[in-house]
Copies of this chain bind each other. A is one copy, B any other.
């Protein structure tokens, strides 16, 4: 079976998953039923009625029934996930603990639990609990110590004002224009997620061209965000009404131009430059002095790109490590050369070579 870049499968989640080949998707995002178990009607202080999630698809006979359904779809997701793929599942305290245990028991390796802090949650009208102001996402790799998963660390850091992205994300609910409406103008889906949430998930854990699978597609937020970000997607949805609205919605999405999809790349991915190449390029000469950050240790450059410091000699990394009696050292940031404006890390010289200025 072959799937195009935009695939919506209308049908039962388990049956549709069974039709997907092993190790064929890069990222799974799942927003399963929460099994809410609500009581009677809830009225606001002004007597208006809260539009509760009472849909048939959220009804389960027992915790056992919910667990067995959860394990079934998670197991299939794990099968279709590539070895370097990851899965995200969102939930609330009603179901997320059961989901988390299933994730662990099936052999996934949890990477983070991420908190979606709602900036505008519904208050607790009765004053009986804390305002339920967040939902929880579980992010997991296919297995412990498996292949390296995709995590666009630097893109996330950039998106968070140059600070590491934390495990708590503050985002508003999906409201207003973004909320998909029926022909009658009513909200089409009771639990539509904000596209900003999916944007961050997809940006963090996939690359352009990757395949994103959403087994509970609803009105297609995952598809819309994936298309916008230049990813392919497969969405599975049982309710024909939701699927139709999703198709219509996604058709209107304009994907970002390829150039706009570039994100901050990891330094690990940049081409490797041996230190010797800095000497070959004439940016440093044999005999030149290199200094540690504070300047009290001095090493000399040799023609082959090795350093000498007293009795010690070896690569910039090894000599740096030995000089500090440390187990390891990044020589590029440890060693400095003398400039007009004081000491500067030799990493600046590497940047010149990479830029073709060497």
Contacts and interface: CB of A to CB of B under 8 A. Distances in A.
A309 interface: no
Nearest to A157: B127
Nearest to A99: B97
Interface string A100-123: 110111000011111101000101
A168 B133 contact: yes
Interface residue SS majority, chain A = mixed
A144 to B, nearest CB: 9
A63 B97 contact: no
Interface in A253-304: 266
B47 A327 contact: yes
Contact of A129 (B112, B134, B154): B112
| Contact size range, A | 35 or more
B127 A167 contact: no
A131 interface: yes
Given A47-B328, A98-B101, A327-B47, A168 B168 contact: yes
Contacts of A204: 130
A242 interface: no
A174 interface: no
Contacts of A168: 115, 117, 133-134, 168
A57 interface: no
B63 A105 contact: yes
A321 B43 CA distance: 13
Contacts of A333: 45
A130 B97 contact: no
Given A130-B112, A164-B130, A166-B130, A47 B324 contact: yes
A153 interface: yes
Contacts of A248: none
Contacts of A131: 164-167
A328 to B, nearest CB: 7
Contact of A63 (B104, B113, B326, B327): B104
Contacts of A93: 100, 110, 112-113, 138
A136 interface: yes
A113 B95 CA distance: 11
Contacts of A329: 47
B100 A132 contact: no
A81 interface: no
A319 interface: no
Contacts of A114: 130
A128 to B, nearest CB: 6
A139 B93 CA distance: 10
Q: Which 6 A-B pairs have the closest CB atoms?
A: A97-B100, A47-B326, A93-B113, A133-B166, A127-B153, A131-B166
28 contacts: A45-B333, A47-B321, A47-B324, A47-B326, A47-B327, A47-B328, A93-B110, A93-B113, A93-B138, A94-B110, A97-B98, A97-B101, A98-B100, A111-B129, A112-B130, A114-B130, A117-B117, A123-B164, A127-B153, A127-B154, A129-B151, A130-B164, A130-B166, A131-B166, A131-B167, A133-B167, A133-B168, A136-B136
Given A47-B321, A97-B99, A100-B100, 13 more contacts: A43-B327, A63-B104, A98-B100, A98-B104, A111-B129, A115-B117, A127-B164, A127-B266, A128-B153, A130-B204, A131-B164, A131-B166, A133-B166
